[in-house]
Chain A
Amino acid sequence: MLSLSKTLAMRSVAGAKYFHAAAVQHATTALTMPALSPTMTEGTITAWKKKEGDSVVAGDVLLEIETDKAGMDVEAVEDGILAKILANGSKVAVNETIGLLAEEGDDLSKVEIPKTSAAPKKADAPAKEEKKEASVPKQQESHQPQQKASTPSSNLLSPAVAHLLLENHIKDVTKIPATGPKGRVLKGDVLAFLGKIKARPAPEPTIPQPKTLPPPSSPSVSFPSTPLRSSFTDSPASGMRKVIASRLSESKSTVPHSYATRDLTIDNMMKLRHTLADEFDVKVSVNDFLIKAASLALRDVPESNVQFGSVDNTKQLQNIDISVAVATPTGLITPIIKGADKRGLQSISETIKELAKRAKASKLKPEEYQGGSFSLSNLGMFGVDHFTAIVNLPQSGILAIGRSRTELKPPAVEEIELLSDSELLDYLGSGKNKKSSASKSAGSSSKKNKEDLDLIDFLGGSAPLKKKSTSTSETALGEEILRRLRPSLESTQVVSVTMSYDERLLDAEVASKFLGRLSHYVENPELVIL
């Protein structure tokens, strides 16, 4: 774990032998970001397992590092004390100093942080040290980044480069501007030289300018490079957001979406809910009912309980697992209620609550959100009337549930009793000449009355005739007729559901059947016991 700070210290300490406690000969060792795999170039420190001042035994875990591949632990190679922590939480390039280790018995207060944090690629002294041969080629490199440096390493030609040179009879490699590490000629350089591709801009000299320690930066937001008039800030997408984005795009672009809407009357359901709550102290929500109803609809219409396997086959699912969309701070996730058709409402209610809680804490296991037959998404609590959702690949459909809204209920068609034309004309005729008709009818009143009463009975008048004190039988009849003509206005609770479905798997008929059964169970909730 040798690095520049140590060599510097050794040289500068030569005159000051008593810099540290007498038992120790050398200064602190720099702890650098290790390359945990041959291709690793940088890593993020996720956690330090030891604090400053802790003593460390060889083999102890010092810190955890996350690379783009995996998270790994870094162990201490030898015994000592963790003197200083210099980097935490940020992305650090390989070989940058992240901490300082001291020997047991060192005076920690005298530990100084080295100015140069980057150990040069060849781990040699900085530009000042010109005595070493190895630094000479680097000097050349740092001064002439554009040209190929005449170092031995630049003579290394990869097979691809050698092949191209031979093919095109290029004898002099020095003609080609090199942009590779250590002044190496890359295949792209040769191709650019031949004019086949655009030249790559030369990389900046990375080696030994004394660098100051990188300032701690917040990892999620990077400040835009133009300081003036920046009207936006970039936030890198989290892993979850990226997955959501890719899955939604894939679904929307590959699945032929079709939509079917239906309004569900939930009066009976609400009544049952209230009964359960008031009399039996059981709390179930509208969503729980809908989950159960959807699962039963899937059971009744098994052609809708399918998954997309590939272009050639459809998977008929045996179980009915309903995915329920839950909004979490990091994104939308759909935990699954397995076997929803076989569960009772209480079980569904409790399961949903538990899954939602864990989803919000990001503690769901993969099998709890991957899979499922059908999805439900409810935006009713946000006041949305209706919306369309995107099918959750590879499921067959998703139900988008809106809010429950109060609507006036039109009476059933059977209730509107229409008078035949003659009856109406009679009435109107009798209405014009009330007196005359009254007398007329009075004449044969008994007969007409009876007829009228029969008529009313025939019209389905089960309600007893209201006898107003001043009303004549005609007025009473008229009022009764008017009453029947005027539709009775009752209010009702309605929820709009829109089913988005994969038209490859379900055709419109199946989807409609599904919605029909769903409606059936919603409007007759007691049927869930079957």
Chain B
Amino acid sequence: MSVRTFASSSVARDVNFTLHKESFSAYNCDEPSLNVSYSKDDLIKMYKSMVVMRRMEMVSDGLYKAKLIRGFCHLCTGQEAVAVGMELALTAEDKVITAYRCHGFTYMRGGSITSILAELLGRKAGISGGKGGSMHMFTPNFFGGNGIVGAQVPLGAGIAFAQKYLGQKAATFALYGDGASNQGQVFEAYNMAKLWDLPAVFVCENNRYGMGTPANRSSANTQYFKRGDYIPGLRVNGMDVLAVQQACAYAKEWTTSGKGPLLLEMETYRYGGHSMSDPGTTYRTREEIQHMRSNNDPITGLKQVLLEANVVTEDELKAIDKAARAEVDQAAEEAKASPEPDMGDFWTQVYQKGTGVPQLRGREPEEFHNY
């Protein structure tokens, strides 16, 4: 898979916007400027990315309900702005690591739709060969896809450490949710990052519910951007892709200029349940979900902004919708056509080459594989 660069620096950034004044809230740092400018190409790319991501998640939803995808499946419907806005602010050298709601990030960081869907279906064309599943997707600059809650945050600090160690002028964005924000290792990561001025941006995707627990029932302090204490923080409207992009660009600049880590809190919302096993309506009302869908949807929001600024016409956007839909459907067909991995692959990729063992035990006491 090729690593795409998102930001097209060659095209002039001639479309200007002013973000809503409540887009940011700062803690021990300055708010980024509300005046943003983009090129038309970038804006359309952002729109298309979000539409593709939305469609991809919906297709996954349908495949899961048709019992083709089994096991865990955590969808990011409604949270597209975070992944898309972040990607525009980053380069290929920056690294991203997140938890299990990772399909959107995998796509933005270079994974093809076919490979993502095939991985969910457990097929050979999957991004991990069909052996990893929903919570085990990686690209050269994306570290997954991690199942254990909050475990990826210290890993993110480690990746930032490696970047500083190797003298790279790049940052690591380590994401976690409001549910994971109270994990102990998160604070250990904060400490090490601040102590050694690591280029780590800790991003809390606050979608208000940790599985089914509302944030105020799980956290004594729900202002997650202030939880870094000695690490400055910034709260961002995570449903506005332009605000997200601006905040991530600001964060990257902050951390790569030697100011140490920064905390970002993205206020976002997921329309679906925590995962496909959760209908998502037992701990919140349908009215709330519908309200967020109609008033705060990231795709609709960007659409309105673009139409008002006369960057695109309605028909052009409709065409983008159709094209995105067709692209995803085509990828779904390819993914479904891919075969399942064969048993020969069952014993591979367990250890890094050169560090393996001569014999590996299988699922049964009597089952052994000799390398």
Give chain A's interface secondary structure class: loop
Name which of A13-21, A158-166, A227-235, A479-487 contacts chain B: A158-166
Q: Contact between A123 and B65 (Cβ–Cβ < 8 Å)? A: no
Q: Contact between B363 and A2 (Cβ–Cβ < 8 Å)? A: no
Q: With A35-B67, A119-B66 as known contacts, state yes or no: A163 contacts B61, CB within 8 Å.
A: no
Q: Contact between B70 and A122 (Cβ–Cβ < 8 Å)? A: no
Shortest Cβ distance from residue A133 to the other chain B in the assembled complex, whole angstroms: 6
B336: chain A residues at CB < 8 Å are: 2, 122-124, 134
B62: chain A residues at CB < 8 Å are: 1-2, 77
A133 to B342, CA, bound (A): 14
Say whether B42 faces chain A, with CB atoms less than 8 Å apart.
no
Say whether B229 faces chain A, with CB atoms less than 8 Å apart.
no
A166: chain B residues at CB < 8 Å are: 364, 366-367
Q: Contact between B337 and A163 (Cβ–Cβ < 8 Å)? A: no
A123 to B123, CA, bound (A): 14
Which of the residues A1, A36, A133, A162 comes within 8 Å of B363, measured between beta carbons? A162
Interface size on B, residues (CB 8 A): 35
**Top 4 closest pairs, chain A to chain B, by CB:** A34-B65, A1-B62, A166-B366, A35-B67
Q: Contact between A59 and B364 (Cβ–Cβ < 8 Å)? A: no
- Write 16 A-B pairs (CB below 8 A) sorted by A numbering: A2-B59, A2-B62, A2-B333, A34-B66, A35-B64, A36-B65, A36-B279, A59-B286, A61-B286, A73-B279, A73-B281, A77-B58, A119-B66, A133-B337, A153-B340, A166-B366
Q: Mark B53-90, 1 if CB is under 8 A from A, else 0.
A: 00000110111111110100000000000000000000
A77 to B271, CA, bound (A): 10
Shortest Cβ distance from residue B300 to the other chain A in the assembled complex, whole angstroms: 11
Known pairs A57-B293, A152-B342. 5 more at Cβ < 8 A? Answer: A1-B62, A38-B277, A123-B68, A133-B339, A155-B343
Closest A residue to B363 using CB positions = A159
B279: chain A residues at CB < 8 Å are: 36, 72-73
Q: Contact between A35 and B66 (Cβ–Cβ < 8 Å)? A: yes
Say whether B15 faces chain A, with CB atoms less than 8 Å apart.
no
Shortest Cβ distance from residue B26 to the other chain A in the assembled complex, whole angstroms: 34
A112 to B364, CA, bound (A): 52
Shortest Cβ distance from residue B253 to the other chain A in the assembled complex, whole angstroms: 37
**Chain A interface category by residue count:** 35 or more
8 A Cβ contacts from A111-139 to B:
119, 121-124, 132-134
Shortest Cβ distance from residue B335 to the other chain A in the assembled complex, whole angstroms: 10
Shortest Cβ distance from residue B148 to the other chain A in the assembled complex, whole angstroms: 22
A37: chain B residues at CB < 8 Å are: 277
B332: chain A residues at CB < 8 Å are: 2
Closest B residue to A167 using CB positions = B366
Say whether B309 faces chain A, with CB atoms less than 8 Å apart.
no
Q: Mark B31-64, 1 if CB is under 8 A from A, else 0.
A: 0000000000000000000000000001101111
Q: Contact between A25 and B322 (Cβ–Cβ < 8 Å)? A: yes
B293: chain A residues at CB < 8 Å are: 57-59
Q: Contact between B70 and A38 (Cβ–Cβ < 8 Å)? A: yes
Shortest Cβ distance from residue A345 to the other chain B in the assembled complex, whole angstroms: 46
